[in-house]
Amino acid sequence: MASLELIGVKKRYGAQEILKGIDISVEAGEFLVLVGPSGCGKSTLLNIVAGLDSATEGDVRIGGRSVKEEHPSERDIAMVFQSYALYPNMTVRQNISFGMEMRKVPKPERERAVQEVAKLLQIDHLLARKPSQLSGGQRQRVAMGRALVRKPRIFLFDEPLSNLDAQLRVDMRTEIKKLHQRLGATIVYVTHDQIEAMTLASRIAVMRGGELQQLGTPAEVYSQPANAFVAGFMGSPRMNLAPARLVEYADGPALGLALEIQSGDRLKARIPLPAQPAAVRAYAGREIIAGVRAEAIGFGGGRLNGHRRAVEASVEIIEPTGADTLAVLLVGGREFTARLGPDFPLKPGERGEFHFDLSKLVFFDPRTEQRIA
Amino acid sequence: MASAAWESPQMVKGRGSRLSRAVIYGLLGFFAFVYLLPLVVMLLTSFKPLAEIYAGNMVALPRQWTVEPWVKAWEEVCVGLLCRGIKGYFWISVKMTFFAVLISTAVGAVNGYVLTKWRFRGANLLFGFLLFGCFIPFQIVLIPMAAVLGKMGLASSTTGLVLVHVVYGLAFTTLYFRNYYAVFPDELIKAAMIDGARFWSIFFRILLPNSGPIIAVTVIWQFTNIWNDFLFGASFSTGESAPMTVALNNVVNTSTGEREYNVHMAAAMIAALPTLMVYVFGGRYFLRGLMAGSVKG
Amino acid sequence: MAAGRTPSMPGARRWLQRNLPKIVLSPTVAASLVFVYGFIAWTTLLSFTRSKTIPNFDLVGFLQYVRVWEHPRWQVAIHNLFAFGTLYIGLCLAIGLLLAILLDQRIRLEGALRAVYLYPMALSFIVTGTAWKWMLNPGLGLEKLVQGWGWTGFTFDWIVNEDMAIYTVVIAGVWQASGFVMAMFLAGLRGIDDEILKAASMDGASAPRIYLRIVLPMLRPIFVSAVVILAHLAIKSYELVVALTGGGPGYATELPSTFMYVHTFTRNELGMGAASAVMMLLTVAAIMVPYLYSEMRSAHRPAH
């Protein structure tokens, strides 16, 4: 297993800049997920790592050595594609051993390797079949088998689960995670599905418009998004982002900060805040964007303490999911999605008291959309 | 007469009244008759002795079936000054068509592969440049080609004709393969590259084995056009080295002596049989070839 | 560890691999340059020279073009091209469309019928010409057949009639090509969503109305394609005339293509032959270029 470094990678197609300078370093054995909306450049970046595309500027280093000039087959990588890319005219056995054939590995050795991998992925009974005779999940495993048999330094996955139905997708996700644990492989995985990203990654790289928005662990990306885009993209339901005003008020002898939320001429909501770092205090009297996750909102008084504040809100919509209830609340005229218990009693139109866990609040600058704190 | 407030959708396609169905079938049958008539007439005439032709009419069944016209056409009929039948010319056509189809298809396949899977700047422009050859009236190249063939010592030779047909067939074969490979999944190519396959391995191990349909279409199209060609054959070959179509024209249009219509028809049938057989057995691909040529780019 | 990387292939082989696509393509490109573009240039050059039996490079401006246009045979050829062309295209379109609409009505034996209408395209023009020449033979063909049925006054000697001979070419040509037009229209008709027709029916439109107002307009691109292809075939048609009438009687069925051939190979007038060929090319270009241009424009316009 090897490490991977992307250093100042840029990609231009004529006048269009697809990648605007990407710097990422992946340690050996890490599972890096590149996630972002379509068109963000993640697949292009993966192709550049693979050698299927070349960077206009910048370097790609595997195991400390630059591979920029090397042909894909010389980089000691393996790739699993969204459409599996199994050769339709070959049997499963031939599909898996094709790479070895190209490298002139002698037949007995090829046979052994194929058997080993087939047993591992439980496809040994399918070796004589052709791809058209396999189900989606089976094809996926053959594609993985083809990658495994190379014993590469790095595994690349290009949206491998997008073509599977929902249940199968969950099963395969677990398979891939098991593989990572068992082999300790360095994996670079591209997906547009942020749930996949969260569940599989040891680190996530969020991309948008050819630029890296944030590189961090799932927890970091989830709770401390670097900007409003990451906040809205990761997590389902997305983080609640509300434009608000930060005001100072007299709190006894000291000055406290409160959040004022108002939309149109609805009732203004005022939420006093606990002590905030200097960066936030600098925004006193100004517009700000407040972000809070659905889980940080709860129903009822609960145990109010330093950072839990009671807020009144009216219920717009309820979506019971079985395990919990997602409720869209109106606070100060703005919508907030809350994740509440499965036996949430209120109906749409009713008002109630909710509590917000303000320690989970994050703030963004309204103009730059970067996180303040 | 009571009628529905609006006619059911079936009126447009399918179950109409019995009268309209009868009319439809009647028309179709009439046209089928008209389309088949020349073929039937040719066949009937080719099996009749000459006397019957002069005595009877063209759709009358032969009272005395004879294959003599066919034998005569194959072995004895006069083409120009030689009276050795058309078999020699038939074989010339076979040789010429075989090599021309083989080479133009093979080169077209590789061209299509390069133009779609090895994107380089100007690939599309180059394709347009090559495509032009599909549209030119070939009269425009006759004079220079005759001169060049003469200089190369290939005037009036099968090799010369093969060269001509390959050169002018390349535009079509490249078009067919290019359009087919354009929608061939790129990921298969990528996977093969990662597996270590290079330029030729990808072509022979991945693309070609999955190209059955387009090879059939291209081969049938080329075969039909090259076998049926007359213009190039007439312009670039003389006498004994002429292909089948030229020989046939020669036979039919000689105005010396008695017109042996039955032999002429037999000769025409012999000339038509190869492409007709290909049509009968490969009709689906024949049609695709026709349509592919009409749906551009 | 050595700094820098080790190239995995020696320089020359690398260059070969990187440029292999272009190298592989070059024979075809070269062939096209020489045999298509080069030859067109050559012929065009010849059309401006005094060449007769052999090429001669004395430039004489447009002399040959003038000679061609003033030639009575060329004038007949042009007149024939129009007469033949319009009838050929018109009849092929009409019959092709009719057959396609009929076949689209869920007919039994549709496959067989389609095969029957299309097979003439598989035949050489020479074979087609031979067959029709025989059928239209005044003494022994259609004329005799109909007379034999009792209609003794029937004459059908168009093929030897100076004024009517060109129409025999139309008959044979339409017989050959209308099946192709039918196939194009049938494919187009099949591509029309049934639901549109159902909606129209529910709106109260009758069958003929639906065809006229909805179906035919949707087939317009096919009309255009068909016209372009048929015009192309008409301009190129050479073998058909040669086999059917030999250009005759006299030169009553002369077309630009036969004119060109005769003057180049038989009458030793290379300059005139070249000029007529160039004019054929220009006519084809005048049709194809706008068509291709509009096709490429619309191909670059689709919603993304």
Domains along chain C with CATH numbers: 71-300 (1.10.3720.10)
pLDDT, residue B35, reads 93
pLDDT, residue A307, reads 72
Q: How many residues does chain A have?
A: 373
Judging contacts by C-beta atoms under 8 Å, the chain A residues touching residue B205 are: 87, 98
Phi-psi region of A351 (alpha: psi -120 to 50; beta: other; left: phi over 0): beta
Judging contacts by C-beta atoms under 8 Å, the chain A residues touching residue C1 are: 64-65
When mean pLDDT is compared across A326-330, C134-138, C291-295, the lowest value belongs to C291-295
Residue A357 · residue A308 · CB < 8 Å: yes
Please say if the pLDDT value at position C90 is more than 80: yes
Joined together, the tokens standing for residue B267 give 């000769």
Using DSSP, state whether A348 is helix, strand or coil.
coil
Report which of residues C21 and C140 the model is more confident about: C21
pLDDT, residue C303, reads 42
CB contact under 8 A, A73 and B194: yes
Rounded Cα distance between C197 and C215, Å, is: 8
Q: Which residue do the tokens 């209308």 mark? A: C178
Helix (H) or strand (E) holding A204: strand A203-208
Average pLDDT over residues C208-236: 85
- The 10s digit of each residue's pLDDT in A48-62 is 999 998 899 999 999
Please say if the pLDDT value at position C55 is more than 90: no
Rounded Cα distance between B21 and C275, Å, is: 54
CB contact under 8 A, B57 and C148: yes
Contacts of B112 (CB under 8 A, 6+ apart): B173, B174, B176, B177, B178, B179, B180, B181
Characterize A117-136 residue by residue with b for buried, 16 or more Cβ atoms within 10 angstroms of its Cβ, and e for exposed. bbebbebbebbeebbeebee
**A88 CB near a chain B CB, below 8 Å?**
yes
CA atoms lying within 13 Å on the CB side of residue A112: 5
Rounded Cα distance between B291 and B67, Å, is: 38
Let me know the angle formed at the C-alpha of B109 by B104 and B111, rounded to the nearest 5 degrees. 95
Rounded Cα distance between A294 and A341, Å, is: 12
pLDDT, residue B2, reads 38
**CA Rg, chain A, in Å?**
25
CB contact under 8 A, C8 and A70: yes
Phi and psi for C80 in degrees, rounded to 5?
-60, -40
C59 secondary structure, DSSP code: B
- Dihedral (CA of B169, B171, B173, B176) sign: negative
Residue A156 · residue A49 · CB < 8 Å: yes
C124 secondary structure, DSSP code: -
Report which of residues C112 and C157 the model is more confident about: C112
Residue B202 · residue B193 · CB < 8 Å: yes
Residue B233 · residue C239 · CB < 8 Å: no
**B121 CB near a chain A CB, below 8 Å?**
no
Work out how many CB contacts closer than 8 A connect B with C.
272
Phi and psi for A311 in degrees, rounded to 5?
-135, 140
Rounded Cα distance between B290 and B281, Å, is: 16
Position C136 confidence tier, pLDDT thresholds 50, 70, 90: confident
CB contact under 8 A, C8 and A71: yes
Q: How far apart are the first and last CA of chain C?
A: 50
pLDDT, residue C49, reads 87
Contacts of C246 (CB under 8 A, 6+ apart): B253
Residue A338 · residue A316 · CB < 8 Å: no
When mean pLDDT is compared across A42-46, A152-156, A249-253, the lowest value belongs to A249-253
CB contact under 8 A, B228 and C118: no
CB contact under 8 A, C8 and A64: no
Rounded Cα distance between A30 and A283, Å, is: 39
Chains within contact range of chain B (3+ C-beta pairs < 8 Å): A, C
Rounded Cα distance between B288 and A182, Å, is: 52
**Residues of chain B with confidence (pLDDT) below 50:** 1-11, 296-297
pLDDT, residue C9, reads 54
pLDDT, residue C209, reads 80
pLDDT, residue B73, reads 87
Can you name the residues that pair with A32 across neighbouring β-strands? A188, A203
- Dihedral (CA of B125, B126, B131, B137) sign: positive
Position C304 confidence tier, pLDDT thresholds 50, 70, 90: very low
Please say if the pLDDT value at position C8 is more than 80: no
- The 10s digit of each residue's pLDDT in A94-109 is 999 998 998 889 999 9
Q: How far apart are the first and last CA of chain B?
A: 53
Please say if the pLDDT value at position A368 is more than 80: yes
Please say if the pLDDT value at position C78 is more than 80: yes
Percent of chain A's residues with pLDDT above 90: 46
pLDDT, residue B283, reads 84
Please say if the pLDDT value at position A74 is more than 90: no
Nearest CA in chain C to B283: C115
